[in-house]
Amino acid sequence: MMLRLGDVAPNFKAKTSEGEIDFYEYLGDSWGVLFSHPADYTPVCTTELGRTAALNDEFVKRNVKVMALSVDSVESHKGWISDINETQGVEVNFPIIADEDKSISEAYGMLHPNASTTFTVRSLFIIAPDKTVKLIISYPASTGRNFQEILRVIDSLQLTAYHSVATPADWKDGEDVVVAPAIKTEDIPAKFPKGFKEIKPYLRTTPQPNK
Ligand code: BEZ
C-alpha cells in the first residue's frame, strides 16, 4: 500500500554507506528527508547527492537529517561517493541506504513498475519529528529534483506547525503568509499583532509571524 500524507513513516534497519542504521534512531527528534534515486554512478543522481551535501548547513539549520537510498550495494555506494566528492566539490556527509532486497523501497512506494521494472524512481519524503509523513514527491529518473524547493517546503512546514497560517504560491521564507481559514477575522489582531490585510473575507495576509 502506498504511503499517504499523515501516515506514520515505517521504521527500518538498513545497511548504509555509514554502517547499519535504525531509521528512527538516526532521526531522533529531528525532521527527516528520505529520498531515493534510480542507480549509483548515474549523472543526474551524482548532481542531486552533490547538491544535498552542499546544502548541509541549510539542513542542519532547520534540524533536518537526510538519508538517501538506492538498490545498489554498500560497496558501490562507497566508490560512487568518492566520485561525487571529487566531481561536485563536496563531502557526502549523510548515509546512503543499500536497499538491495528492495524492502524499504517497497514499504515507501519508491518502486513504480510502469516507469522502471528495476530501479526506484526519484521519491522524496519529508518526515516530521513525530514520524508522520508531511510531503511525498515522485520525479522521473530523467528529472533532477530542486533542493531549494525542498528547503522551502521545510520552512513552510516548520512555520505552519507552530502558527495558524498557511503559505501562498511561490512563498519564500520572510514573505507574507495567509491567515488560516479557521481564524475568524475579528480574532486576527490579537493573534497577529504585526497587522493584516483583508483582500477577501477568505483571503487574509499577515507578515510572517516568526520573523
Ligand atoms: C541519472 O541519474 O542520471 C539517471 C538515472 C536513470 C535514468 C536516467 C538518468
**What does pLDDT average to in each consecutive run of 10 residues of the chain (211 residues)?**
93 98 98 97 98 98 98 98 98 98 97 93 98 98 97 98 97 97 97 97 97 90
Q: Provide CB contacts within 8 A for 186, sequence distance 6+.
A: none
Q: Quick one: pLDDT at residue 1? A: 65
Where are the chain's structural domains? 13-145, 163-206
Q: Which atom of ligand 1 is nearest to the CA of 46?
A: 2
Neighbours of 159 (CB within 10 A): 19
Q: Quick one: pLDDT at residue 2? A: 87
- How many whole angstroms from 44 Cα to the centroid of ligand 1? 5
Fold of 13-145: Glutaredoxin (3.40.30)
Name the pairing type of β-strands 64-70 and 96-98: parallel
CATH number of 163-206: 3.30.1020.10
Active site residue 45: yes
Residue tagged active-site, from 9, 14, 21, 45: 45
Q: Which atom of ligand 1 is nearest to the CA of 144?
A: 2
Q: Quick one: pLDDT at residue 65? A: 98
DSSP result, the chain: ----TTSBPPP-EEEETTEEEEHHHHHTTSEEEEEE-S-SS-HHHHHHHHHHHHTHHHHHHTTEEEEEEESS-HHHHHHHHHHHHHHHT----S-EEE-TT-HHHHHTT-B-TTT-SSSB-EEEEEE-TTSBEEEEEEE-TTS---HHHHHHHHHHHHHHTTSSEE--TT--TTS-EEEPTTS-GGGHHHH-TT--EEEETTEEEE--TT-
Q: Is 81 in the pocket of ligand 1 (CB under 6 A)?
A: no
- How many whole angstroms from 140 Cα to the centroid of ligand 1? 9
Q: Is 142 in the pocket of ligand 1 (CB under 6 A)?
A: yes
Q: Is 42 in the pocket of ligand 1 (CB under 6 A)?
A: yes
- How many whole angstroms from 29 Cα to the centroid of ligand 1? 33
Cα-flanking dihedrals φ and ψ of residue 36, to 5°? -105, 155
